[in-house]
Amino acid sequence: MKKKKYLNSGTVTLLSFAVESDHTFLDYIRGGTQINFTVAIDFTASNGNPSQSTSLHYLSPYQLNAYTMALRAVGEIIQDYDSDKMFPALGFGAKIPPDGRVSHEFPLNGDASNPSCSGIEGILEAYHRSLRSVQLYGPTNFAPVVNHVARSAAAVPDGSQYFVLLIITDGVISDMAQTKEAIVNAAKLPMSIIIVGVGQAEFDAMVELDGDDIRISSRGKVAERDIVQFVPFRDYTDRGGSQVLSMARLAKDVLAEIPEQFISYMKAHGIKPQPAPPSPDPPGPPPPTQP
């Protein structure tokens, strides 16, 4: 992971990262570039039966499950940078009603025409509702949700919007070749991917997708940019996995590469930030009162 400069060392926020460039991430945000976050949650059977306490999806009345805890912890960090606070939220790897077909990009809110949820609480509500209506199945395919967001990113290549896909998964991936191809194609678009791994599985495949050491490639084509950041959630929780130990460190590591990935897209496409809108003029003095 590359070292960053801090604009404000007192806080750890997405806007506090700067990179070596003529323009900073903050310049683009001030100029009106919108950050759009999409969440994708792993509903495959490798997570365990949600009705059993050993499952990563178990809904206990006493403590948060791994997915809820990761979604709340990471979501509360990133939601401040999505202007409308409406988040498309998808699930993958489950049999869904009414016909029990397997889907790898179903809307958590049940509305395929508008999968957006209001804030992190809206996503959590839709997630809990989905757990009660779908059947965990498989395989674990990432490519459909990557391509889902890539289609949105491809529609606005002018730098006015930038898309970030947050995937929360237990890490057992089935479509590695297709996912690599999807990421290589997405690297040309205004898009980044954050993968948060929950549970105790080996995450070798996620580290490979991260591409910090070796840039990923597909069909002999190397990705134009590194657009993936992988974070194992267990590194930030207590031994029992029931509490996040350091929100500041989690925030720093989850968001560490987004500004640089953002800037690399803008530089590659010659996109400069728009001027920040002028501050409104202060009101003038009140008119003199009549005698």
- In this predicted structure, what is the pLDDT of residue 288? 62
CB 176 within 8 A of CB 133: no
Sign of the dihedral defined by the CA atoms of residues 41, 44, 49, 55, in that order: negative
- In this predicted structure, what is the pLDDT of residue 287? 61
- For residue 76, CA distances in Å to 236, 247, 250, 255 come to 15, 10, 11, 12
Regions of the chain where pLDDT drops below 70: 1-21, 241-242, 279-291
- In this predicted structure, what is the pLDDT of residue 87? 94
Instruction: Please report the domains of the chain, with CATH numbers, ordered by start residue.
Output: 18-268 (3.40.50.410)
- In this predicted structure, what is the pLDDT of residue 34? 92
DSSP code per residue over the chain: ----EES-TTS--GGGEE-SSSS-HHHHHHTTPEEEEEEEEE-BGGG--TTSTTSTT---SSS--HHHHHHHHHHHHHGGGSTT-EEEEEEESEEETTTTEEESSEETTS-TT--EEEHHHHHHHHHHHHHTTSEEB-----HHHHHHHHHHHHT-TTSSEEEEEEEEE-S--S-HHHHHHHHHHHTTSSEEEEEEE-SSS--HHHHHHH-SSS--EETTEE-SS--EEEEEGGGGB-TTS-SBS-HHHHHHHHHTTHHHHHHHHHHHTTPPPPPPPPPPPPP-PPPPPP-
pTM of the model: 0.87
Nearest to 34 by CA among 134, 161, 197, 224: 161
